[in-house]
Amino acid sequence: MSGERRPVVDLTDEQARRALPLKWGTVPRDVIPAWVAEMDYALDPVVLEAVQRALADGITGYPLFGHDPALAEAYAGWADRHFGWAPEPEAVIPVVDVTAGVRVAIDVFSGPGGVVFPTPGYNAQLGLASITGRDEVRLEVPASAERAEIDLDRLDRMFAEGAQTLLLTQPHNPWGRVFTRAELEGIRDVVVRHGARVVSDEIHAPLALPGVEHVSYLAIEGTHDHAVAVVAASKAFNTAGLRCAQLVVPDAASRRLLADQPMARNDSHSPLGAIAARTAYAEGDPWLASLVERLDQQRALLGDLLATHLPLVRMRPVEATYLAWLDASAYGHDDAAAVALERGRVKVSPGESYAPGTTGHVRLNFATSPERLTEVVERLARAWA
């Protein structure tokens, strides 16, 4: 849809403590939180109004089980506008959140072999393979690598040695990478050669920043028989607590297999989450455009601040998300996050939680106000340097 942009509004500290109880409510008042992936911005008023209207109407019962036609149509239209590719609406199936959707996909569609998990990787999905009864096979990207990429030769060997699924996070968290079409085609070729599967976590797809283009793995020819994507509006619209993501299952036989699963296999999502997601997909473009512009500005500001105050910190180019993967090891602190909290009163996410054994790395959330981000980097400089 088109329309006049709606502005991004910064939350004050007090508003953020009320709105974001995990991010802001679990730290002392003198600490600036820049860790969990939530934004310090007020909700898109159109999404907020839709949820408030639903509550006023008393919509607090069970959601539709299985296919939700209105939500599916809204996502398909949104994907077509933003990516030039969209699934059939029948392929879009609600789940409670992205990580639960990944688990369901592995449980239902994958063979018993190991799950390849590139690291650094989203910390909530570290160990997810073992929950499904499979081995986790970590494909480590060296900290020294100038560009975080999937090593196709190593991926090929892992499949040859018995792994059967790749958990692909793209755009990637915490690298901030957007994989190119050529990279995805290379991954597809390796996967097809071994008869393996792909579960593509694409929750950050709406947050591809200027200069890159998100390509869904499912938009690559020859992927529908071996892959599903897990998507959501929750990361881009700050509605994670409303609990609704979507599985995109393009293969009809796979959809039938999923429909035949016991109800307990797919945790029930929230009707309020479905309404928020449907509204974001159908009516959220004007706010999302303002958000992407703001995040692009924040990305540039962070680069300038680091160059000025922490010139030895290495930040790989952030192509998507509002999360920066920072290598601060040149300042000599193995646990840079702990030092940031103790000396700088800034909470960032420790690199160890994304890549066990990593030292000197942190993940920093820059989705905040320019003033707060400036204070964050100045405090980190006092703590680390």
Residue 236 pLDDT: 98
What secondary structure does DSSP assign to 273-328, as a single string? HHHHHHHHHHH-HHHHHHHHHHHHHHHHHHHHHHHHH-TT-EE----BSSEEEEE-
In this prediction, residue 1 has a pLDDT band, given cuts at 50, 70 and 90, of very low
Same domain, 35 and 82: no
Note whether residue 60 is domain-resident.
Answer: yes
Query: 254-285: per-residue pLDDT in tens?
Result: 999 999 998 878 778 999 999 999 999 999 99
Is the pLDDT reported for residue 2 higher than 60?
no
Same domain, 73 and 124: yes
Same domain, 63 and 211: yes
DSSP letter, residue 12: P
Q: Evaluate whether 228 touches 252 at the Cβ level (below 8 Å).
A: no
Note whether residue 7 is domain-resident.
Answer: no
Q: Of 249, 283, 317, which residue is a domain's last?
A: 283
Same domain, 101 and 146: yes
Is the pLDDT reported for residue 174 higher than 80?
yes
Note whether residue 262 is domain-resident.
Answer: yes
Query: 323-355: per-residue pLDDT in tens?
Result: 999 999 999 999 999 999 999 999 999 999 999
Same domain, 274 and 141: yes
Q: Evaluate whether 262 touches 53 at the Cβ level (below 8 Å).
A: no
CA distances from 88 to 18, 81, 105, 219, 329 (A): 39, 14, 18, 12, 47
Rounded CA separation 19/348 (Å): 19
Domain range spanning residue 321?
13-44+285-384
Q: Evaluate whether 319 touches 148 at the Cβ level (below 8 Å).
A: no
Q: Evaluate whether 248 touches 91 at the Cβ level (below 8 Å).
A: yes
Q: Of 253, 283, 313, which residue is a domain's last?
A: 283
In this prediction, residue 31 has a pLDDT band, given cuts at 50, 70 and 90, of very high
Residue 171 pLDDT: 97
Q: Of 235, 262, 283, which residue is a domain's last?
A: 283
Rounded CA separation 336/339 (Å): 5
Note whether residue 2 is domain-resident.
Answer: no
DSSP letter, residue 225: T
Q: Which range has the top average pLDDT, 145-159, 235-249, 257-271? A: 235-249
Amino acid at 325: W
Same domain, 31 and 128: no
Q: Which residue has the tokens 């609600």?
A: 94
Q: Evaluate whether 71 touches 92 at the Cβ level (below 8 Å).
A: yes
Same domain, 326 and 290: yes
Same domain, 346 and 243: no
Q: What's the mean pLDDT in 3-15?
A: 93
Same domain, 144 and 248: yes
Structure tokens at 229: 């994507």
Note whether residue 1 is domain-resident.
Answer: no
Note whether residue 85 is domain-resident.
Answer: yes
DSSP letter, residue 10: B
Query: 79-105: per-residue pLDDT in tens?
Result: 999 999 999 999 999 999 999 999 999
DSSP letter, residue 180: -
Residues linked to residue 208 through DSSP beta bridges, in sequence order: 320
Per the structure, the count of domains in the chain is 2
Note whether residue 205 is domain-resident.
Answer: yes
- What CATH number has the domain bearing residue 197? 3.40.640.10
In this predicted structure, which of 145-154, 181-190, 284-293, 374-383 has the lowest mean pLDDT?
145-154
Same domain, 37 and 61: no
Provide the mean pLDDT of the chain: 96
Residue 147 pLDDT: 79
Residue 144 pLDDT: 74
Rounded CA separation 300/291 (Å): 14
Of the chain, the end-to-end C-alpha distance in Å amounts to 48
Rounded CA separation 179/172 (Å): 8
**Strand 115-119 relative to strand 323-327, pairing:** unpaired
User: 3-class DSSP state for residue 118?
Assistant: strand
Rounded CA separation 248/184 (Å): 17
Same domain, 77 and 124: yes
In this prediction, residue 3 has a pLDDT band, given cuts at 50, 70 and 90, of low
Note whether residue 338 is domain-resident.
Answer: yes
- What CATH number has the domain bearing residue 309? 3.90.1150.10
**Nearest C-alpha neighbor of 232 from the set 248, 214, 219:** 248
Q: What is the pTM of this model?
A: 0.96
Q: Evaluate whether 54 touches 274 at the Cβ level (below 8 Å).
A: no
User: 3-class DSSP state for residue 140?
Assistant: strand
Same domain, 68 and 213: yes
User: 3-class DSSP state for residue 102?
Assistant: helix
